[in-house]
């Protein structure tokens, strides 16, 4: 990446001054040095768009989108240029967009996937030079279908180890180019057919090595949940391999050296229905995952990833208490594993499990650790706010209950310490009314305020609350009529 921020200031200033050619010139210089600088492609697209070069602008935005698939500006750019995406572009831009040809192999891990394997291969094949399928003992037509679609099939025994199963393909994959791994129930988005070769060409010469995170687009019920945390594409012949019984990870064979690698997300979208609840239940995935993860934690009790994945899958399976125990263990173990990068996820799931168990004080502590250690993680702030809201609701319920208790005890109280008559007749009623108002139980609150107004007609605070509720109710009624 280009570490200098000076060029950004130059381009931003040029764009503010509507110096489109000046912005273009700086961006071209930056991209001439570093073609994976996504923001430079965005700025160049903006400069070209303002010069009336719609097709050229779109090509720049698309390259930026490939390099930054979660960018918020994408829908706006697509909408603006939807009718200008096809057309000629300058030769200099064509050269800037070009990438050297690099071999790309598609690899698929499968077992009893006759229902999906053909579609999976057909979606993947145009994007790669060849397809390798690792079959772990299918009893249906998976192998025959894969071979009929032109894939090379590597058959291996299943030994309760997904990392080992993926490693079985390494001889067939070779030592040159890149590999893109796809699960048999994932289907490469047709808009991204060109992207694997572009990515391989862009990153092949980059050092340290680049391990690419893809976008798994999960269709779960009626919701669509994109996930960019999965590494699936990496260079061959440089020591990168798979480890882990389940939720396997790309690691280097020389674990003692721990070579540095960059893991950017790119726009390679794999549409996936395998996490839909009926599919998970039908295939027994949850029970299988938990069994393998428990084996993994037994084999490697100091592995934070094993505990984190176990806790997550226990949570998905509805085993909340066991999930909390495993996730808490992951948090502890991660303190001695500086390479573990999924601690924010562990804490987010742990917080959610604790909330569901109504252990709100513990959930608040976890949320506070999330925002303290990972202040850039939006989910941490969400959970901190959500837990605060839940605890506030509990406190308001307590306020109502305890205020009523004060009123109930007052007539029977005969203690030596005197009690002000305002406690049962004014203060406790006012507390209950205020709490009811905060709970949005305005009708109950209004009734209590009116009760107080009859007894204390000169109490300005009570009058203000009555006026506020009446006015807000009127405004809501008016807004509903428009």
Distance between CA atoms of residues 394 and 358, nearest Å: 11
Q: What pTM was estimated for this model as a whole? A: 0.83
Where does CATH 1.25.40.10 sit in the chain? Answer: 6-97, 284-389
> If you ran DSSP here, which 8-state letter would residue 417 be given?
S
Q: Give the whole-angstrom CA distance, residue 147 versus residue 118.
A: 9
Answer for the pair 312, 343: CB distance below 8 angstroms, yes or no: no
In the sheet that holds 212-220, the strands lie side by side as: 152-155, 130-135, 104-110, 178-183, 223-235, 212-220, 265-272, 186-188
- Report which of 154, 159, 157, 128 is spatially closest to residue 143, judged by C-alpha positions: 154
Residue 2 confidence (pLDDT): 46
d(CA 466, CA 453): 9
**Which tokens in the block code for residue 405?**
């208790």
**CATH architecture of the domain formed by 104-279:** Alpha-Beta Complex (3.90)
Spatial separation of the C-alpha atoms in residues 342 and 482, rounded to whole Å: 48
For the chain, report the end-to-end CA distance as a whole number of angstroms: 53
pLDDT of residue 163: 96
**Domain spanning 6-97, CATH class:** mainly alpha
* Residue 1 pLDDT: 41
Tell me, what's the pLDDT at 147?
98
In whole angstroms, give the CA distance from residue 161 to residue 241: 14
Q: Which CATH number fits domain 284-389: 1.20.1250.20, 2.40.50.140, 1.25.40.10, 2.170.190.11?
A: 1.25.40.10
Residues of the chain with pLDDT under 50: 1-2
Q: For position 284, what pLDDT does the model report?
A: 77
Which residues of the chain form CATH 3.90.550.10? 104-279
The vertex-434 CA angle with 432 and 437, nearest 5°, equals 110
What is the Rg, in whole angstroms, of the alpha carbon atoms belonging to the chain?
Answer: 30
* Structural contact between residues 63 and 73, judged by C-beta atoms closer than 8 angstroms: no
Cα separation, 193 vs 1, whole angstroms = 25
Residues facing 224 on adjacent strands: 219
Site of tokens 């260079």: 235
Angle at 272 between CA 266 and CA 278, to 5 degrees: 155
């Amino acid at each position: 990446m280009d570490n200098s921020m000076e060029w950004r200031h130059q381009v931003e200033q040029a764009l503010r001054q509507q110096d489109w050619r000046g912005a273009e010139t700086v961006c071209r210089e930056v991209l001439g040095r570093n073609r994976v600088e996504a923001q430079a492609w965005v700025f160049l697209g903006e400069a070209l768009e303002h010069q009336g070069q719609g097709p050229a602008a779109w090509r720049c935005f698309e390259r930026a989108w490939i390099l930054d698939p979660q960018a918020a500006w994408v829908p706006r750019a697509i909408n603006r240029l939807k009718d200008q995406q096809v057309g000629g572009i300058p030769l200099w831009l064509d050269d800037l967009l070009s990438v050297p040809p690099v071999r790309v192999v598609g690899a698929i891990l499968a077992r009893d996937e006759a229902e999906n394997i053909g579609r999976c291969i057909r979606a993947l094949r145009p994007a790669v030079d060849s397809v390798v399928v690792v079959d772990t003992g299918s009893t249906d037509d998976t192998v025959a279908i894969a071979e009929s679609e032109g894939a090379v099939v590597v058959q291996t025994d299943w030994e309760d180890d997904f990392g080992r199963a993926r490693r079985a393909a390494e001889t067939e994959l070779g030592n040159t180019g890149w590999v893109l791994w796809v699960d048999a129930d994932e289907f490469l988005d047709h808009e991204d057919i060109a992207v694997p070769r572009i990515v391989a060409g862009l990153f092949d010469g980059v050092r340290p090595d680049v391990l690419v995170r893809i976008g798994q687009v999960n269709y779960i019920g009626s919701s669509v949940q994109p996930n960019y945390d999965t590494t699936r594409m990496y260079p061959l012949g440089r020591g990168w391999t798979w480890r882990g019984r389940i939720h396997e990870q790309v690691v280097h064979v020389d674990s003692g050296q721990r070579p540095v690698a960059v893991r950017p997300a790119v726009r390679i979208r794999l549409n996936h229905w395998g996490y839909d609840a009926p599919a998970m239940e039908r295939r027994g995935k949850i029970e299988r995952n938990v069994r393998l993860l428990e084996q993994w934690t037994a084999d490697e009790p100091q592995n934070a990833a094993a505990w984190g994945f176990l806790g997550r899958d226990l949570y998905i399976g509805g085993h909340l208490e066991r999930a909390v125990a495993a996730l808490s263990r992951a948090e502890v173990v991660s303190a001695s594993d500086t390479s573990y990068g999924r601690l924010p996820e562990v804490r987010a799931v742990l917080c959610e499990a604790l909330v569901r168990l109504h252990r709100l004080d513990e959930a608040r502590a976890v949320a506070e650790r999330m925002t303290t250690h990972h202040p850039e993680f939006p989910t941490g702030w969400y959970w901190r706010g959500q837990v605060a809201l839940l605890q506030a609701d509990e406190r308001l319920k307590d306020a109502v209950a305890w205020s009523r208790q004060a009123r109930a005890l007052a007539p029977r109280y005969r203690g030596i310490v005197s009690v002000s008559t305002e406690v049962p007749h004014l203060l406790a009623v006012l507390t209950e009314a205020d709490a009811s108002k905060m709970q949005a139980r305005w009708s109950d609150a209004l009734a209590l305020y009116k009760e107080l107004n009859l007894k204390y007609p000169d109490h300005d605070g009570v009058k203000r609350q009555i006026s506020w509720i009446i006015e807000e109710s009127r405004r809501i009624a008016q807004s509903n009529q428009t």
